[in-house]
Structure 1
Amino acid sequence: MCNKNIVKSTQKLCVMAEGSNILLDPMQACKKTRKIPNKILDICKQDSRNKTSILKKITKGISLGFRECENQFRHRKWNCTSQRRSMKKILLRDTRETAFVNAITAAGISYTIAKACSMGELVECSCDKNLVRHNVLLNNNQMTTFDNTKTNIININKNKTKKPRRNGNNKKRARNSNKKQRKAPLALPTEVPGVPVVGENWEWSGCDDNVNFGNRKSKDFLDARLRRRSDIKTLVKIHNNNAGRLAVKKSMRLDCKCHGLSGSCTMKTCWMKLPSFTEVAHRLRDRFDGASKVISNNDGTNFMTEGLSIKPPTRQDLVYTDESPDFCRPNRLTGSLGVQNRECNITSSGEDGCEILCCNNGYQRSVTFVKSNCKCRFIWCCDVVCNTCLEKREIYTCR
């Protein structure tokens, strides 16, 4: 708990620590130690012991984000360890790693709540009803179709004809040509990206994952306290939180199911659904590799890239203000656990290889024997009998 009598510089760091601890202990946001924003208060009013409460889903979403963070960085020097002491130090800083943790946890909350809505696990929401749902419509030489949760109009150009002169014979020719144009059938495109083939019988149905509700609750929980401040670290954190939520929304894809006799596809039912969260995390990891270092602008209300020749970051990019520490050696101040005793791949030349992962400090080889099933055979009826074999395995670890 922060002491009100401490100096301003230390007090600012303490406020940052409290905001970061929400990810390590989501229930802390509901403790009445200070004024709670109304949006968080609405979430905290629900019974936390109820498994269907939004607060429980938020806690589950944060855990999902941390687990996937470990999965994405398991072969790197910084392996996104779940050790509380190390992660707390990472969240106190504003490095590239901090940006990813903030983005992946914000995405985890959105993803978990969106899935819970479509599964009927929350009484506050259901399937997303705001998406445009309609079949292909033809109206005045235009085709209206669904593309990536919004309506796009694809114009079908007609052959332009010259305006006839107002002479007697030319008027008759103009009328005849207009009649022919009205009777001429429209040449429609056969395929539209992201939607079923035009001409097939299909309709919007099923249950869309309610990603809009998930993003809104993620924003209410993580950003409500931050809106009161406008320093560079707050702006960066809000930007990375939004980038994580946007990654969830951008990963939505169309899924269809065929209906018909004898396996035929005479009718399609289509809806928008989320992929596995690993796919969302992989999208954010690509943004991690291309993250931009930013500084505050002159009036302090926004940020800009450190170099004038660097392309400004988009809404989907991750940003940071501090350089990453050295993760090769343990350091309590930065939260680095070092790479000692980390297992590496001797045959790889990538980041999981022994040369890169061990920071050129060398590695050691050990041999172990692992029991595994071998020489399996089928015995009628209905057993599978296997022998137990010892498999030799070489393990390389960093010194």
Structure 2
Amino acid sequence: MNFLPSGICFFLSVATCWMTAKVDASWWYMGTLGSQMMCDNIPGLVNKQRQLCRQHPKVMQAIGAGMKEWISECQHQFRNHRWNCNTTVRDHNLFGRLLLRGSREVAFVYAISSAGVVYTLARACSRGDLDNCSCDPTKKGSSQDSKGSFDWGGCSDHVEHAIHFSQIFVDAKERKERDARALMNLHNNRAGRKAVKRFMTLQCKCHGVSGSCSVRTCWQAMADFRRTGDHLRRRYNGAVQVAVNQYGTGFTATHTHFKHPSKNDLVYLEDSPDYCIRDPQSEADIRCMSFQPKVSGFCPVLSSGSMGTAGRLCSRASRGSDSCEVMCCGRGYDTARISRTTKCECKFHWCCAVRCRDCQQLVDEFTCKCTLEGPHSGGVPLESYGTERGVGGQMRVSWCQRLDGRMLSTFSMMKFRGANSVLRNCNNAEKRKVDVMLALTYG
């Protein structure tokens, strides 16, 4: 394998940083600016988005305020997984380098954020918070369902208006590009919008003598956003890996045994990292990495955006993705006995209350040990990290294939016992790769 001189590698790395910087959704940054944000202060918006921002300031405020809801839902859906939808306010796209990959996690983020915009705008219209929309004007007169006829009344959520605005605003950046990532993002944005519409429900109120329900007044309302989140989580589980077709207009499944993706499916381009180890370029402030040297201008081509699982809670009894074996990637876990306040000795008192005492209970809490990138490795021998078992049981690549210059410098600085034995397991090509990374990082 031929390797380029370090100077050329540095140029290619900087170029990669510059090219991949466009792959984000800068409108997500509105949630960090609050209701007083100015359109010109949001980095990365394209002209169409900036124009809409100036024309509809109340809509932008609603979108910014609604971001907490879909981010919270994302974190709920992945609360027991290695990647837990963590965000960082230091990046204007909120998800940092995670977005550099066309992974299924990124597919979910785009889908649920697009769904969140639709849900937020439709709700704001129904509440009368916005000047240019209100209840759905098409829901007038009479109609019928399986139970019989009814009159439209109340305030039906104007989802079609919200979908239309979301499509214009959210998709504006991707529509300027026609590469694979843009097509992927557009597809997942649409899947998210369709998910909200999928769970519209007909709610009715009866009128008549003695509750006879001789007349019904009905309106259409969005279901709780949790149903949308649950649906998109299932779509994440069944996401289809795709490649762009020869015309550059759509997708084909990368594996012949995969179905062709429908408009409701989530699609992704690249396999996900295992999220076991924190990406050195991520902005997370984890105690295990507090000593890590900072090197400016370095951009790994295969940056994962992973925050790692160091310090994450895990379950020793579980056999699922939240188990200590899976969550901690085989690094082991620390046990701490903590005191929790729980309700106990509850009694029913007439009438009508249940009164309980506050009791202190000692419980064991398990947290994943830190990786060997920090001094809190828990004494795990470096040799034991030759391979890692990831989600689903697949074996991950060896440590020598992961080492970069910064990690090697850390090994040298901290004088980890066993580092030399790991390097001996690397083949010559991998060692040359490490040499290039050292030259790139430290000159």
Normalised by the length of structure 1, the TM-score is 0.74
**How do 1:1-399 residues align onto structure 2 when only pairs under 5 Å count?**
11-16=18-23, 19-25=24-30, 30-31=39-40, 36-38=46-48, 40-46=50-56, 48=57, 53-84=58-89, 87-131=95-139, 134-136=142-144, 195-198=145-148, 202-332=150-280, 333-375=303-345, 387-399=357-369
Aligned CA distance change for structure 1 residues 328 and 240 (closer, same or farther; 3 Å): same
Distance 2:230 2:347 in 1: 40
Aligned CA distance change for structure 1 residues 134 and 70 (closer, same or farther; 3 Å): same
Between structure 1 and structure 2, the one with the greater Rg is: 1
Amino acid at match of 2:21: C
Name the SS of the counterpart of 2:117 in structure 1: helix
- Please report how far the alpha carbon of residue 11 of structure 1 lies from its aligned counterpart in structure 2 after TM superposition: 4.1
Aligned CA distance change for structure 1 residues 22 and 42 (closer, same or farther; 3 Å): closer
Amino acid at match of 2:112: I
Superposed CA offset, 1:155-188 (max 9, x none): xxxxxxxxxxxxxxxxxxxxxxxxxxxxxxxxxx
Name the SS of the counterpart of 1:346 in structure 2: coil
Superposed CA offset, 1:188-227 (max 9, x none): xxxxxxx3423xx532222111111111121122112321
Aligned residues: 327
Distance 2:48 2:358 in 1: 62
Amino acid at match of 1:358: C
Superposed CA offset, 1:1-21 (max 9, x none): xxxxx98755432322xx433
Superposed CA offset, 1:99-136 (max 9, x none): 11111111001000001111111111011123585334
Distance 1:385 1:35 in 2: 54
Contact persistence 1:367–1:392 (CA under 8 A): yes
Gaps of 5+ in 2: 1-12, 281-302, 370-443
Name the SS of the counterpart of 1:202 in structure 2: strand
- Please report how far the alpha carbon of residue 340 of structure 1 lies from its aligned counterpart in structure 2 after TM superposition: 2.0
- Please report how far the alpha carbon of residue 266 of structure 1 lies from its aligned counterpart in structure 2 after TM superposition: 2.5
- Determine the structure 2 residue equivalent to 1:164: none
Aligned CA distance change for structure 1 residues 348 and 10 (closer, same or farther; 3 Å): closer
Amino acid at match of 1:290: G
Contact persistence 1:294–1:305 (CA under 8 A): yes
Aligned CA distance change for structure 1 residues 196 and 303 (closer, same or farther; 3 Å): closer
Distance 1:298 1:393 in 2: 58
Normalised by the length of structure 2, the TM-score is 0.67
Percent identity, please. Answer: 36
Give the CA RMSD over aligned residues.
2.9
- Determine the structure 1 residue equivalent to 2:381: none
Superposed CA offset, 1:138-170 (max 9, x none): xxxxxxxxxxxxxxxxxxxxxxxxxxxxxxxxx
Distance 2:246 2:146 in 1: 50
Amino acid at match of 1:226: E
Aligned CA distance change for structure 1 residues 227 and 133 (closer, same or farther; 3 Å): farther
- Please report how far the alpha carbon of residue 35 of structure 1 lies from its aligned counterpart in structure 2 after TM superposition: 9.2
Amino acid at match of 1:62: M
Amino acid at match of 2:336: S
Contact persistence 1:231–1:301 (CA under 8 A): no
Gaps of 5+ in 1: 1-5, 137-194
